[in-house]
Structure 1
Amino acid sequence: MTTVTTPVENSPIVLHLQPIIDLTDDQFFEFCQINRDLHIERSATGELLIMPPTGSETGNRNAKLTVQLGVWAERDGTGIYFDSSTGFKLPKGAERSPDAAWVKRERWNALTAQQQKKFAPICPEFVVELRSPSDQLQPLQEKMQEYLENGTLLGWLIDRKNRQVYIYRPGLSVECLENPVSVSGESVLPGFVLDLSKIW
C-alpha cells in the first residue's frame, strides 16, 4: 500500500532570543556554521528563522536556476553570483539567504577579505526566491519587499506551485506574470534571460 502525502504549507520556526541573548554578527555566523543542516536567517529585530533543508525536487530546480545565472554572469563578467547557501547582512540589520543573488563586482571588491568570508554586509542588486511546495507565499513576499527596502534593484519571486513570477522593482508596483516561458534581467542584468521551462 502506498501513501501519498501532500506538502503542507508551513512557516519557519521563529526563535526569540532578545533581550536574554543578543548574538553578535560573529556569534550568529558561528551558530549557523555549527548548524549547517538547517537554513537559518535572522530578522532585523533579532529573531532567528529556522527552516529545514529544501526537498530534492526544489533543490534541483534551484540548481538549474543558479546554473543559468552563473553561465550568464561568467560570460558578462561585471558581477559575482551566489547560490542559496549564501548569507548577506542587509543594511537594515537582517541576515538573509536568497535562493540566488548577484552583486556588482566593484561593490563586492570594495568589501574586505574578512567581510567576504562571512555574511557579507551588502544587499545584492538582484535576488531570486523560489517557492517550494511547503512555503507560504506571504512570508516570501514580505522578504522580497525587505530586499527592495535594503537596496535590491530587481527581484523575482518564482511560485512554482501556481506557475507565477512576481517581479519586484524599486518604486513600482509588483508585477505578476502568469505561466511565463522566460523572464528577463532587464537593465540590471542586461542580456540575462531565465528559461523557466527548466524551473517549472
Structure 2
Amino acid sequence: MTSYTLDLTPITTLTHEQFYQLCMANRDIPMERTATGELVIMAPVGGGSGRLESDLNAAVWNWNRSTGLGVVFSSSTIFHLPNSSDRAPDVAWVALERWQALTPEEQEKFPPLCPDFVIELRSRSDYLAPLQAKMREYIENGCRLGWLINPQDQQVEIYRPGQAIETLAFPVQLSGESVLPGFMLALP
C-alpha cells in the first residue's frame, strides 16, 4: 500500500505510550512508527491484495491451529520492536512460549517483541524498496524467517538472519523451515 511519512521530530518525539494513545484515538488511520520516530500513515489496499493477504493469514492460521505452536496475527496488529519502531506486518506469527512470557497488558497493547515469522505482501501501489527495508528491520530485530511476496514481479524474497536474501520465482512452494515446522505454502 502507498504510505505517507510524517517527520514530527522538529516539533516532538512520541514515546511508545504516546504513539499507542495516538493510534487508539485514530483507529481508522493505520499507522506505523519508524525507529527514528517518523509516523508512517498506511493507505488501504484494493480487493486483490486484501483477498491474498487474507488467504496468507488463513494458511498460517490453519497450520498453527493444527500444531498449537504459537499465535497468529493480522496486519492490524502493531509490534513494538527492540529498535523502538512500531510495525504491523501483513501476517505475523509468534512462538507460544514467547507470547506467554508477556504480561497481559503487553499482550493487550502493542506487543513488545519482534515476531518470529512475518509476511509482507506487495500491493500494486507499494514501492519495493521500503518493503525490503522493513523486512531487513524485522530480521535485525529478531525475526527468524520472513517472506516478501511480490505478485507484480512474480517472485518472493526470503529473509533469514545471517544469510543472503533468497529470491525465488513463481510458481514456488515455500517452506516454514524450522520456524514453522511442516508449514508449506504454494504460490501460483
Q: Same fold, TM exceeding 0.5?
A: yes
Q: Does 1:78 align with 2:53?
A: no
* Conserved 8 A contact 2:171-2:186: no
Q: Does 1:37 align with 2:44?
A: no
- Counterpart-to-counterpart distance in 2, 1:66 and 1:100: 6
- Counterpart-to-counterpart distance in 2, 1:39 and 1:53: 8
- Counterpart-to-counterpart distance in 1, 2:17 and 2:104: 15
Which ranges of structure 2 fall in alignment gaps of 5 or more residues? none
* Conserved 8 A contact 1:155-1:167: yes
* Conserved 8 A contact 2:90-2:119: yes
Aligned to 2:167: 176
Q: Does 1:146 align with 2:125?
A: no
Residue identity matched to 2:50: G
Q: Does 1:47 align with 2:38?
A: yes
Aligned to 1:6: none
Deviations 1:89-143 (A, max 9, x none): 0001110000001111111011010111111000111000000000000000000
Q: Secondary structure at the match of 1:140?
A: helix
Corresponding residue pairs, total: 188
* Conserved 8 A contact 1:80-1:105: yes
Aligned to 1:13: 4
- Counterpart-to-counterpart distance in 1, 2:165 and 2:134: 13
- Counterpart-to-counterpart distance in 2, 1:56 and 1:29: 28
The CA deviation at 1:30 is 2.0
Aligned to 2:148: 157
- Counterpart-to-counterpart distance in 2, 1:12 and 1:61: 19
The two structures have a TM-score, normalised by structure 2, of 0.96
- Counterpart-to-counterpart distance in 2, 1:36 and 1:163: 33
Q: Does 1:131 align with 2:122?
A: yes
Among 90, 104, 107, the alignment partner of 1:116 is 107
Percent identity between matched residues is 53
Residue identity matched to 1:181: V
Aligned to 2:17: 26
**Structure 1: 4+ residue segments shifted above 3 A:** none
Aligned to 1:96: 87
Residue identity matched to 2:114: C
* Conserved 8 A contact 1:154-1:170: yes
Which ranges of structure 1 fall in alignment gaps of 5 or more residues? 1-9
* Conserved 8 A contact 2:31-2:41: yes
- Counterpart-to-counterpart distance in 2, 1:121 and 1:23: 16
* Conserved 8 A contact 1:38-1:53: no
Alpha-carbon RMSD: 1.2
- Counterpart-to-counterpart distance in 1, 2:118 and 2:130: 15
The two structures have a TM-score, normalised by structure 1, of 0.90
* Conserved 8 A contact 1:62-1:99: yes
Aligned to 1:5: none
The CA deviation at 1:11 is 4.8
Q: Secondary structure at the match of 1:62?
A: helix
